[in-house]
């Protein structure tokens, strides 16, 4: 399973229900929030498949990035225990 970083730049605050759906979808994937708008998730899908799955849950003005994380990474003061990611 690959480790992915999913980053969202949510620019449209008029559709918070839509963002609840996005957050629910991330939770259903087993994603764990590491920063305010960034999550880690381990899965067998490709970055393109993850992006396509989540793209319909954000507004056309929002931004979404899905990137596979290499083995060598570090963080500080994250929302989760780094060893669990």
pLDDT digits (tens, 9 = 90+) for 45-75: 999 999 999 998 888 888 999 999 987 887 7
Domain positions in the chain are 2-74
Burial class (CB in 10 A: 0-12, 13-18, 19+), 16: exposed
Q: What is the spatial distance between Cα 56 and Cα 12, in angstroms, rounded to a whole number?
A: 14
pLDDT in tens, 19-52: 788 889 999 999 999 888 899 999 999 999 999 9
Residue 9 has a pLDDT of: 85
Q: Which CATH class is domain 2-74?
A: alpha beta
Residue pair 80/40 in contact by the 8 Å Cβ criterion = yes
Check residue 70 and give its pLDDT: 82
């Amino acid at each position: 399973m690959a480790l992915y970083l999913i980053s969202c730049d949510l620019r449209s605050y008029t559709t918070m229900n839509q963002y609840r759906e996005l957050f629910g979808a991330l939770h259903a994937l087993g994603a764990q929030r590491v920063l305010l708008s960034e999550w880690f998730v381990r899965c067998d899908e490709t970055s393109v498949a993850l992006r396509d799955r989540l793209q319909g849950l954000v507004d056309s003005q929002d931004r979404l990035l899905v990137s596979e994380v290499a083995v060598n990474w570090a963080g500080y003061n994250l929302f989760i225990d780094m060893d669990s990611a």
